[in-house]
Amino acid sequence: MDIKGNKPLPGGQVRGLVLDWAGTAIDYGCMGPTAVFVAAFKHFNIEIDISQARQFMGLAKKDHVRSILQLPEIADRWHKKFDRQPTEEDVEKVYAETEPRMLSAIANHCQLIDGLSEFVAGVKKMGIKIGSSTGYTRSMMDVVMPIAADQGYQPDTVLCSSDVPAGRPFPWMCYLNAIRLQVYPMSAMVKIGDTLSDIEEGRNAGMWTIGLTRSGNELGLSRQETETMPADQLRERLQTIEKNYQACGAHYVAAGIWECLPIIEEINQRLANGDTPDGVNR
């Protein structure tokens, strides 16, 4: 095996994927975690809205709490309530309310997203291994994985933010996926996710990236809500999400996992032509 640098091997092709979970593989609209953050903050009589709860989705859950507390408007509410700025001790207190609520809530939001099973079958026929990364902790994934498995979804690896030194946007989960999948170079891997932090994670790891606009957190609507939204309004929102992904460095954008198999085939062709995720032809 040629191990000199992050370049495609002769006749290179995609050999491994790293899929996010909520909003990408399960839980259309990434609905499960959102209400949990709202409820956890409400326990301390601090009101946050859904957009604030969604803003940091994809991060490790404790980092998510910390980031919400760092929002100027939330820090101001905390100061007015407790006569001081939020501290790391407060992060721990809010997170302590978050985790048990999350364990209860996510069990009801594990339905596979339509098209996932067909996508998995397609990439397996291509000899591609399937890894995964998530902002959920291991205890949370202990709830999610059996329910997903009962529906037929069992990725080859499952890496959590609690398995590595730091979660997204750091690339550690992607690197550990590559190690466990025994895939090299990183340019032979694709990260698929529904948040900006997913794209940052994949880019930081030197992978191809696909951002999902319709099924995940960035739109933040259930399937029924997307189907009943006026077409022009939905189109405008999806276009904005696509622009945000592109600004973040996404190589590709798709509505959902159901559109991703042709993209994998296109990346295979680009690898065969010597292209790499950094845009340098080798």
Give the SS3 label for residue 213: coil
Give the SS3 label for residue 189: strand
Q: Is 62 a catalytic residue?
A: no
* Catalytic annotation, pick one of 2, 7, 20, 243: 20
Residue 106 in tokens: 């996510």
Q: What is the chain's alpha carbon radius of gyration, rounded to the nearest angstrom?
A: 19
| Dist CA 71 CA 51 (whole Å) | 12
Q: Is 20 a catalytic residue?
A: yes
Give the SS3 label for residue 17: strand
Amino acid at 220: G
Residue whose C-alpha is closest to residue 217's, from 20, 36, 22, 60: 22
Omega before 185 cis (within 30°)? yes
* Catalytic annotation, pick one of 2, 42, 61, 80: 61
Q: By the 8 A CB rule, do 135 and 153 touch?
A: no
| Dist CA 215 CA 237 (whole Å) | 13
Indicate the helix (H) or strand (E) that contains 89: helix 88-106
Show which residues are catalytic.
Answer: 20, 61
